Amino acid sequence: MEYQKQQEFAQQLDQQDVLKSYRSLFHIPIHDQHEQIYFCGNSLGLQPKNTQVYIAQELEKWQNLGVEGWFTGQNNWINYLQHLKGPLARIVGAMPTEVTVMNNLTVNLHLMLISFYQPTTQRFKILVEAGAFPSDQYAFETHLKTRGLNPDEAIIELIPREGEHTLRHEDILASIETHRDTLALVMLGGINYYTGQVFDMAQITEAAHAVGATVGFDLAHCVGNIWLELHNWQVDFAVWCSYKYLNSGMGGVSGVFVHEKHHQANLPRLAGWWGYDQATRFKMEKGFVPMQGADGWQLSTPTILAMACHRAALEITDQAGMKALREKSVLLTGYLRFILEEYNQQHQQILQIITPQEEAQHGCQLSILVEKNGKQLFEQLTNAQIIGDWREPNVIRLSPVPLYNTFEEVWKVGQALANQ
C-alpha cells in the first residue's frame, strides 16, 4: 500500500477497516478524560468488556452452588477447559486434543523440558537465542543444573552478526547443521521479544528434525499476533502466556501445545491429579493414568476465574479470526513504520527500526533503537498519552494491535514526534 501522512488518509483506512467494531469490545485506558493511545499490547493486552461478565458468572455459581459448581449444568467447572480448546486450537493452528490450558508460561516450559529434553552423553545441547527473554534463560540454566549438566557447555546461543541486531535465517539453519551430532533440542521464541523478529518456525523445525533434534517454541509474543500452523509445521511442543495479544489478564493462565505424534509415546513427565484420566480420576487410585492428548500434562485443579478471563478474550479473537487480524496488523504496522520513517527523514535519521521490514519477519511490534536521548523521547511519547514500553538499554517498543488500535492513532504518533 502507498501510505500518506495526512490525517484524512488514516481516517479513511479506519472507515474501511472490517475489524473496526472490535475496539468497542475493550476498555480503553482513560487519562485526563481522554482515551490513551495504547500501543503496549505486546506487554499486557487490554481488558475485554465481557471479562467482568464471565467472572461474575463463576462468582455467582460459587455463591449459589458451592462445591456443586464443579458438577452442575453444562458450564460446570470440571469441564470448563472444553470451552477454551476449540478457539485456542484455531488460533495456533492445532487440533483441540493438542492444546491445553494450565499454570503459567515458565512452569509449563519446565514441564515440557522434562518430557522433551532427553540428553545423552553425545546429544545434550540446546540451541537458543542469545538474549532470549530472561525467564527462559533462567529456566534453561537452572533446568540443566538439575540434570547435572553445565549450562556453559550445553547451551548454544545464536548471536546476530557483528553490527546487526537480528538473526539471519541462514545462520540459524547453519548452526543446527554445525551441531547436528550433539543437538538434543532447538528451543527458540517464535518472536524475539526485544527486536520483534519473527523466526521461520516451519523451516527451523524441519531442519532440526532432519538432524534428530526435538523442537519447541516459546510463543508468548506470537499467539494472537501472527499466523501459526503448529500441527502442520510438526512442532513438537510449544508454550505461551495469554496476557499479551490474547488479552486474558495480568499473569493470565498459560497454554501448551503437544503434537499428536507424541500423545501415545511413553514420555517422562511430572504428573498431577488433574492430568489423570477424567473418567476414573475420583477413584483416587495409585498409578498415574494420563488423559489423552495435551490434557495429560495438566497438574493441579484449574483456576476457574483465570480461565473465565481467558474464555472471554478467546471468544473475541476467535470471532475476529487470525486471517483478518493478521491482514490488518500488516497494514497497521506498515503505517507506523511509514510514519517513523517520515519523521526520520526530517530529523537526521535519529531513529533506527530494528524489527525486520519483511512481512513474514514481523508481527504487531516495532522496536525502535534510539542511540541518543532515547529515554527522554519515550517519556515525551508517554506525556502525549502514547503508551508503549521501554527496554534497556535504548529501545522503544510500539505495538499497534488490530483488535483495538486504529490508523488514526498511528498518525497521532507522528504528530507527537513532530511536536516534541
Whole-angstrom distance, CA of residue 405 vs CA of residue 106: 29
Residue with cell 492428548: 293
Give which of 396, 419, 399, 418 is closest to 409, Cα–Cα: 399
Please determine, for residue 99, whether its predicted confidence score (pLDDT) is greater than 80: yes
User: 311 and 384 in one domain?
Assistant: no
Domain assignment present for 49: no
Quick one: pLDDT at residue 420?
66
Q: Tell whether 45 is covered by a domain.
A: no
User: In the β-sheet with 99-101, what is the strand arrangement from edge to edge?
Assistant: 99-101, 255-258, 237-240, 214-218, 183-189, 125-129, 155-158
Residues paired with residue 298 on neighbouring β-strands, in sequence order: none
Residue 220 pLDDT grade (very low, low, confident, very high; cuts 50, 70, 90): very high
Give the model's pLDDT for residue 173. 98
Separation of alpha carbons 418 and 144, rounded Å: 50
DSSP-derived 3-state class of residue 236: coil
Other CB atoms within 10 A of residue 123 CB? 17
- In tens, the pLDDT along 295-315 reads 999 999 999 999 999 999 999
Residue 204 has pLDDT above 90, yes or no: yes
**Residue 352 lies in domain:** 7-35+322-418
| Residue at a domain's end among 320, 339, 355 | 320
Domain boundary among 303, 320, 337: 320
Q: Looking at the 3D structure of the chain, how many domains does it have? A: 2
Does 281 lie in the same domain as 171?
yes
For residue 130, being part of any structural domain is answered with yes
The whole-number pLDDT of residue 350 equals 84
Greater pLDDT, 93 or 345: 93
Do 26 and 60 reside in the same domain of the chain? no
Question: How buried is 277 (Cβ within 10 angstroms: 0-12 exposed, 13-18 middle, 19+ buried)?
Answer: middle
Alpha-carbon torsion angle 142, 147, 150, 153, nearest 10: -110
What is the distance between the alpha carbons of residues 138 and 146, in angstroms, rounded to a whole number? 12
Compute the half-sphere exposure of residue 379: CA atoms within 13 Å on the CB side of its CA.
4
Please identify, among 320, 348, 375, the residue that sits at the C-terminal boundary of a domain: 320
Q: Residue 297's domain is classified under what CATH number?
A: 3.40.640.10
294 and 281 in a common domain:
yes
Q: Could you read off the pLDDT of 258-304 as tens digits, one per residue?
A: 999 999 988 999 999 999 999 999 999 999 999 999 999 999 999 99
Task: Give the model's pLDDT for residue 265.
Answer: 86
Q: What is the DSSP letter of 28?
A: P
* Residue 42 within a domain: no
Same domain, 92 and 130: yes
In a domain? residue 41: no
CB atoms within 10 A of CB 175: 19
Beta bridge partners of 390: 396
CA distance 268 to 135: 23
Within this chain, do residues 79 and 136 fall inside the same structural domain, yes or no?
A: yes
Is the previous residue joined to 393 through a cis bond, with omega within 30 degrees of 0?
A: yes
332: CATH = 3.90.1150.10
Same-domain status, 279 and 297: yes
Residue 47, domain member (yes or no): no
Cell of 245: 495479544
In a shared domain, residues 73 and 175: yes
Do the Cβ atoms of 298 and 100 come closer than 8 Å? yes
373, pLDDT greater than 90:
no
What does the DSSP assignment read for 36-62?
Answer: -EE-BTTTSPPPBTTHHHHHHHHHHHH
Confidence of residue 364 (pLDDT cuts 50, 70, 90): very high
Distances (CA, A) of 286 to 61, 115, 186, 281, 420: 32, 21, 35, 10, 67
Q: What is the pLDDT of residues 139-161, one digit of tens each?
A: 999 999 999 999 999 999 999 99
Residue pair 199/167 in contact by the 8 Å Cβ criterion: yes
State whether 230 and 105 are in the same domain: yes
CA separation for the pair 161, 10 (Å, rounded): 37
Q: Residue 349: is its pLDDT beyond 90?
A: no
Residues 104, 159 share a domain: yes
Helix axes 134-146, 105-116, angle to 10 degrees: 40
> 240, 270, 242: which is closest to 257 by C-alpha?
240
Q: Taking the CA of residue 332 as centre, how many other CA atoms within 13 Å lie in the half-sphere pointing to its CB?
A: 32
Angle at 35 between CA 363 and CA 253, to 5 degrees: 50
Q: Look over the chain and give the mean of its residue pLDDT values, rounded to a whole number.
A: 96
Are 232 and 365 within one domain?
A: no
Q: Kindly state whether residue 102 falls inside one of the protein's structural domains.
A: yes
DSSP string, 227-256: ---TTTTT--EEEE-SSSTT---TTPPPEE
Whether 188 maps to a domain, the answer reads yes
Distance (Å, whole) CA 257 – CA 294: 7
Q: What is the pLDDT of residues 11-65, one digit of tens each?
A: 999 999 999 999 999 999 999 999 999 999 999 999 999 999 999 999 999 999 9
Instruction: Say whether both 335 and 306 belong to one domain.
Output: no
353 strand-pairing partners: 368
